[in-house]
Amino acid sequence: MAIRKIRQAGDEILKKKSREVETIDDRLQILIDDMIETMHEYNGVGLAAVQVGILKRVFVIDLYDDKGPIVFINPVIIKTKGEHEVEEGCLSFPNQFAKVKRPEEVVAEYTDRTGKRMRVKAKDLLAQAICHENDHLNGEVFMDKIIPGTLEYIEPEETK
């Protein structure tokens, strides 16, 4: 496993649409393991493959609960319910946070890393993370959706 370089704001790849995963092979498993390790290294809740420079429809989410990381391959959001304002950040936009509108609940279908098609009904942080990471797969970033006047820059601890 390896820590991968996270693509930052301004990198053109973040605006590109990711391609469907056709086969779940050893290379994809290595990518998934690296993405989970990278997400944990930077204390992220989610990470999309495009954020490490790979245009594949894959993302990982970890709510740091007893369930561990969830791997989403070729995810599709099939239903949303409600809407609320939430604060978001993104590993590709370090130390920047803003409010965005997200669904309160989502139903998503995806393939897990074993190749099994799954369905999840999510709310709260999981629903938010699924929407945020799914946006990445479509070439959208949370900065495209921020509520005007809510962007904040938090200075990193080591520079204070």
Catalytic residue annotation? 133
Residue located via tokens 């897990």: 112
Cα separation, 48 vs 151, whole angstroms: 22
Burial class (CB in 10 A: 0-12, 13-18, 19+), 113: middle
Determine which helix (DSSP H) or strand (DSSP E) holds 102, and give its type and residue range: strand 93-102
Residue located via tokens 């319910």: 81
- Token pair in block for residue 34: 């690296």
Which whole-number Å values give the CA distances from 1 to 30, 45, 148, in the listed order? 7, 19, 39
Residue located via tokens 């999309």: 48
